Amino acid sequence: MSHDGHMSLNVEHLPTRTLPAEKPLRLLDNAGHAVSGESTGGFSLPDVETLLDLYRKMVVARRFDVQVTALTKQGRLATYPSAFGQEGCEIGAVASLDAVDWLFPTYRDSIALLTRGIAPGEILQSFRGDWHNGYDQHAYRTAAQATPLATQALHAVGLAHAARLRHDPIVALTFIGDGATSEGDTHEAFNFAAVWQTPTVFVVQNNQYAISVPLARQTRAATLADKAVGYGMPGFHVDGNDVAAMYAVTTAAVERARAGGGPTLVEGVTYRIESHTNSDDPTRYRSSREVEHWKRRDPIERLEKYLVSEGALTESLRADITDAAEDLAAATREVMTVEAELDPLELFDHVYSRPRAALAEQRAFLEAELAEAAQEAGR
């Protein structure tokens, strides 16, 4: 009994957590030392060649991200959600996929698209406001970047389910934000994936915020990986700034899904260093002390320390990687400073599969206006 006479539960004795490890699983600590024992969760460090490849991908991705943020400040893009600081999650997860697998990304995940081989100009077309989606989704097996939160999770489950019915051994991996785990669509995606045992890997990027809403106001779950337990799928709570751990865990999840073992939830604990988008002022809801704390846990620096201590990252290799990153930044600047030649009438394409009278009328109206304007300009 509590002091006011009501029955109360003894909260201390209730289990606050179930399966996933309380401390995030990691293979490299923040100082770049290989970790052993329980916190590895039984996973082993990928070989040095793989780690060097992950390092190169992260360095190139960050240079791209920084360049695009700068171009956005110059007004070359309408908006850009940066993934600065989240490279461990983004690159570790995407590198675990085969070319036949599908990726279902969000607005946050442009660097994952880059790692998948999509050209900067194609990735950024929609952020510039030029076109709905600038890349061939089928060629890259990468769906459009979803802005309506968590809708992409359902699409990933649907595609994976269809693949399974067709005995097509492919996997669908989708990114979900910490805030998006509160969406009904996430619940439906998790549940259908588990019930149907679809080959889906859910990578929750817990970057601590949904715009200004911190994780503590999002959920009372001990970890977001704990949510997996209630759906009957494995959940892993991973240090998202340890690309080696993210890669090892997502690779295992992808292999398990491909072998018919069903879905897995992987939570990567990370931090968004930049603002939510260029229209957000993060100083209104988080301290610079907190940002500095996370900057000291940088995913690229951590792997770099390890590779240098192993003698694997030589000065000439580092110079090669920097050159590749600078070349990509230059190509990105070049493509984004060329004004796109747009046909306003394309606005009416791909809206309905069959023409609609009202739309045809509006199209004819605009066509006449454009013709008139062209005639006036010619006078």
Ligand X SMILES: Cc1ncc(C[n+]2csc(CCOP(=O)(O)OP(=O)(O)O)c2C)c(N)n1
Catalytic-role residue among 62, 76, 141, 276: 276
Q: Is 285 a residue of the active site?
A: yes
Using the rule CB under 6 A, is 147 a contact of ligand X?
A: yes
Using the rule CB under 5 A, is 85 a contact of Mg ion?
A: no
In this structure, what token pair is assigned to residue 378? 């010619």
**Least distance in angstroms from the C-beta of 376 to ligand X:** 40
Indicate which single residue of 101, 178, 242, 298 sits in contact with Mg ion (rule: CB under 5 A). 178
Q: Are strands 209-210 and 200-206 parallel, antiparallel or unpaired?
A: unpaired
With CB under 6 A as the contact rule, which of the stretches 3-11, 30-38, 203-211, 279-287 interacts with ligand X?
Answer: 203-211
Q: Which does 147 bind (CB under 5 to 8 A by kind): ligand X, Mg ion, none?
A: ligand X
Indicate which single residue of 65, 178, 242, 267 sits in contact with ligand X (rule: CB under 6 A). 178
Cα gap 223→270, rounded to integer Å: 13
Q: Which does 148 bind (CB under 5 to 8 A by kind): ligand X, Mg ion, none?
A: ligand X
Indicate which single residue of 209, 236, 247, 306 sits in contact with ligand X (rule: CB under 6 A). 209
Using the rule CB under 6 A, is 149 a contact of ligand X?
A: yes
Contact characters 254-283, ligand X, x per CB under 6 A: ------------------x---x-------
Cα gap 101→94, rounded to integer Å: 10
Class of residue 98 by CB neighbours under 10 A (exposed 0-12, middle 13-18, buried 19+): exposed
Given the structure tokens 């259908």, which residue do they identify? 192
Class of residue 17 by CB neighbours under 10 A (exposed 0-12, middle 13-18, buried 19+): middle
Report H helices in 96-217: 110-115, 120-128, 137-140, 151-165, 184-196
With CB under 5 A as the contact rule, which of the stretches 2-10, 160-168, 201-209, 220-228 interacts with Mg ion?
Answer: 201-209
Using the rule CB under 6 A, is 174 a contact of ligand X?
A: no
The letter for the amino acid at 315 is E
Coil, helix or strand for 104? strand
Q: Is 272 a residue of the active site?
A: yes
